[in-house]
Amino acid sequence: MSNQQYIIICYSTSQMLRADSLLKALNVTTDLIPTPSEYGSICSTAIAISHKDKEIAEKILMDHNFAVKGIFPHEIRKLSGLMESLKNTVISQPFKDIMKKVETGETLSKEEITYLLKVEGSEKKVLFETADRMRKEIVGDVVEVRAAIEFSNYCNKSCHYCGIRNGCSVPNRYRMTEDEIMEAVHQLHKTGIKTVVLQSGEDDYYTVDLLIQLIKRIKRETKMGITLSVGERSYEEYAALKKAGANNYLLKIETTNPEIFQFIHPDDDLQVRKQCAQWLKELGYVNASGNMIGLPGQRPEDIAEDILFFKEMGIHMIGIGPFIPAKGTPFEKYPQGSVEMTLKAVAVTRLVCKNVFIPATTALASIDPDGQRKALQAGANSLMLISTPPKYRLNYQIYSNKNMIDLDSAIEAIKEAGRRLPKYLVLNEEVSV
Ligand code: SAH
């Protein structure tokens, strides 16, 4: 089959990056993608190549004495028996045609993705169930739990939607000291959680040197995985932070529609944001992105483009949340995004991007108390706790009435969704696993 893809799996991220640049330098077209789960952790990145380049790639790697774990056919994920299971369901012909493609693993077009984002009634139910099955087959039943420490709410940007934007009157602006952050990190470490997300506004106070010092200390004292979410920075800064030990980077694209992007971000440029995502990927970060649902002027077609962007960029973790108006911002009177559209976007993203992490977002929990369970049953497989110390939390209201997801509410959502807690969690006696 001429369109058969192959994937090269390396022993480490640095080897993978070296192999990738070597192949690229010798004119082999490569793509970096999340490693399919059957070949290891989906947190790692694999190199995808086409059938026609397989032999030449093998030769190049051999000539340069590159030991790789292997080159495997990139199996297309199928959902066998899907059509059979739908034979007594009332669904339209166009929907059936798309489900047939999902069953055989064919790529969905923008039009088909848009169609799925618009379904209602029994088709919506089938969409959620199919995404849930894809999630189960690819990433299993365990819900990955991560936790965020929002360490500064100072921000030099004025994104129109954001409740901590520059110019917005926040009760108090705060910056946590390194010791305060470490105290919160240690508390998390005791719960067994393996990854801490360090998030802030775009605050120049935290220079790269300060962040490097913090990253090294977290690694030295806890060895936890570190996700940074500190906005747009230069290539050199991203490289230095990676070298210091940061593992993942969360920078949401928010929307791929250039006009909407411009309208909501007076200080930003979509091309720069895309460039940052590209750099993060090239530097070997586990790349996290996401979007908001229900932005002014956003249509299902725009959300379909966002999903295609996640796929084409090989994004590992995709946070999809409803837009929620924040008091005191230019968008405070705008209507909030819908729970149903957010859930459909989660489900379609699972069907299109397949082996990725999709969190049931805090934003969803903030507009629907049952939102996280619903997302976990529509394709999502991870949860993020808010672990900012209580005295600062209320000052990090990026949107109004933000839900403070703690370990107990996360455990509840996981149980209600009929899913498994990760083994690494250290639980109190009264909580039965
Ligand atoms: N300064 C960092 C972190 C921003 S806050 C950065 O730029 O990456 C993290 C996320 O919160 C944003 O990416 C955005 O998707 C979300 N967010 C901010 N305001 C929001 C709102 N009003 N409604 C919903 N989500 C919002």
23 and 168 co-located in one domain: no
Q: What angle do CA 8, 356, 226 make, to 5 degrees?
A: 90
Ligand 1 center from residue 119 Cα (angstroms): 27
Q: Per residue in 18-57, pLDDT tens?
A: 999 999 999 999 988 888 877 877 667 899 999 999 999 9
| Burial (Cβ within 10 Å: 0-12, 13-18, ≥19) of residue 71 | middle
What angle do helix axes 121-139 and 339-353 make, rounded to 10 degrees? 50
Please give the share of the chain, as a percent, with pLDDT higher than 90: 85
**Per-residue confidence (pLDDT) for residue 421, from 0 to 100:** 96
pLDDT at 432: 41
Considering the domain architecture, whether residues 406 and 271 belong to the same structural domain is answered as yes
Closest among 260, 17, 20 to 160, alpha carbons compared: 260
How far is ligand 1, taken at its centre, from the CA of residue 399, in Å? 8
Best mutation site among 292, 298, 362 for ligand 1, i.e. most ligand atoms within 8 A of its Cβ? 292
Mean pLDDT of 151-173: 95
Residues 6+ apart with CB under 8 A from 374: 339, 343, 360, 364, 368
In a domain, 126, yes or no: no
**336 and 226 within one domain:** yes
Q: How far apart are CA 133 and CA 141, in angstroms?
A: 10
Instruction: Look at the chain and report how many structural domains it folds into.
Output: 2
Task: Say whether both 330 and 244 belong to one domain.
Answer: yes
Collapsing DSSP to helix, strand or coil, 407 comes out as helix
CA of 60 to the centre of ligand 1 (A): 43
410 and 328 in a single domain? The answer is yes
Strand (E) or helix (H) holding 31: strand 31-34
Residues 281 and 192 in one domain: yes
pLDDT value of position 433: 38
Strand locations in 301-424 (E): 317-322, 359-360, 382-386
Q: What is the mean pLDDT of residues 301-317?
A: 96
Instruction: Using the atom order of ligand 1, give the atom closest to the CA of residue 254.
Output: 15
Helices 178-191 and 208-222 pack at an angle, to 10 degrees, of 30
Q: Residue 360 — very low, low, confident or very high, per pLDDT cuts 50/70/90?
A: very high
Q: Look at 6-15, 31-40, 121-130, 207-216 and tell me which has the smallest mean pLDDT.
A: 31-40
- The answer to whether residue 107 sits within a structural domain is no
Same domain flag for 292 and 402: yes
Sign of CA dihedral 263, 268, 269, 271: negative
Q: Which atom of ligand 1 is nearest to the CA of 201?
A: 1
What's the pTM? 0.93
Round to whole Å and give the CA distance between 374 and 97.
26
At which of 73, 97, 123 does a domain end? Answer: 73
Residue 154 lies in a domain: yes
Average pLDDT, the chain: 94
Residue with the bigger pLDDT between 256 and 42: it is 256
Q: Are residue 178 and residue 46 in the same domain, yes or no?
A: no
- Domain with 54 in it: 5-73
User: Buried (b) or exposed (e) across 136-165, using 16+ Cβ within 10 A?
Assistant: eebbeeebbbbbbbbbbbbbebbbbbbbbb
pLDDT class of 14 with cuts at 50, 70, 90 = confident
Instruction: Give 169-200 pLDDT, tens digit per residue.
Output: 888 999 999 999 999 999 999 999 999 999 99
Name residues contacting ligand 1 (CB within 6 A): 161-162, 199, 201-202, 229, 231, 251-252, 254, 292, 321, 323-324, 326, 363, 398-399
Task: Pick from 10-14, 49-53, 149-153 the range whose average pLDDT is largest.
Answer: 149-153
According to DSSP, the residues that pair with 147 across neighbouring strands are 196, 385
Residue 298 lies in a domain: yes
Name the residue at shortest CA distance from atom 13 of ligand 1.
252
CATH of the domain at 32: 3.30.70.1530
Residue 163 maps to a domain: yes
Same domain, 154 and 15: no
- Specify the ligand 1 atom closest to the Cα of 319: 15
Give the three-class secondary structure for 50: strand
What separation in Å is there between the alpha carbon of 314 and the centre of ligand 1?
Answer: 21
- The pLDDT of residue 39 is 81
Task: With a cut of 60, say whether residue 2 has pLDDT above it.
Answer: no
Q: Is the pLDDT of residue 431 over 70?
A: no
Asked whether the beta carbons of 23 and 49 are under 8 A apart, the reply is yes
Query: Where do we find the tokens 């959502």?
Result: 413
Answer yes or no: do 68 and 188 share one domain: no
Q: Which atom of ligand 1 is nearest to the CA of 326?
A: 22
Cα 249 to Cα 66: distance, rounded to the nearest angstrom: 28
- Residue 44: its pLDDT value, please? 79
Whether 325 is in a domain gets the answer yes
Give the residue, out of 318, 366, 398, with the most ligand 1 atoms within 8 A of its beta carbon, to mutate for a pocket test: 398
Contact 225, 316 (CB under 8 A): no
100 assigned to some structural domain: no
**Cβ count within 10 A of residue 217:** 16
Res 308: pLDDT? 98
Averaged pLDDT for residues 283-295: 95
What are the CA-CA distances from residue 341 to residues 141, 288, 378 (Å)?
24, 21, 12
From 155, 158, 160, 162, give the residue whose CB has the most ligand 1 atoms within 8 Å, as the site to mutate: 162
Q: What is the pLDDT of residue 37?
A: 77
150 and 247: one domain? yes
Mutate to test the pocket of ligand 1, among 252, 265, 298 (most ligand atoms within 8 A of CB): 252
Q: How far is the CA of 290 from the centre of ligand 1 (A)?
A: 10
- Angle CA 284–285–288, to nearest 5: 140
Among the three residues 52, 73, 94, which one is the final residue of a domain in this structure?
73
What is the whole-number distance in angstroms between the Cα of residue 365 and the centre of ligand 1? 15
Q: Are residues 156 and 31 in the same domain?
A: no
Residue 94 lies in a domain: no
Q: What CATH number should be reported for the domain holding residue 229? A: 3.20.20.70
- Give the span between the Cα atoms of 167 and 195, in whole angstroms: 32
pLDDT at position 136: 96
Ligand 1 nearest-atom number relative to CA 399: 22
CA angle, residues 373, 374, 376, in degrees to nearest 5: 65
Residue where one domain finishes, among candidates 73, 108, 133: 73
Going by CA atoms, what residue is nearest to atom 16 of ligand 1?
Answer: 398
Is the model's pLDDT at 123 over the cut of 80?
A: yes
Residue 430's pLDDT band, with cuts at 50, 70 and 90, is very low
Which protein residue's CA is at the shortest distance from atom 2 of ligand 1?
231
Per-residue model confidence as pLDDT tens digits over 61-118: 999 998 899 999 988 788 999 999 999 999 999 999 999 999 999 999 999 999 999 9
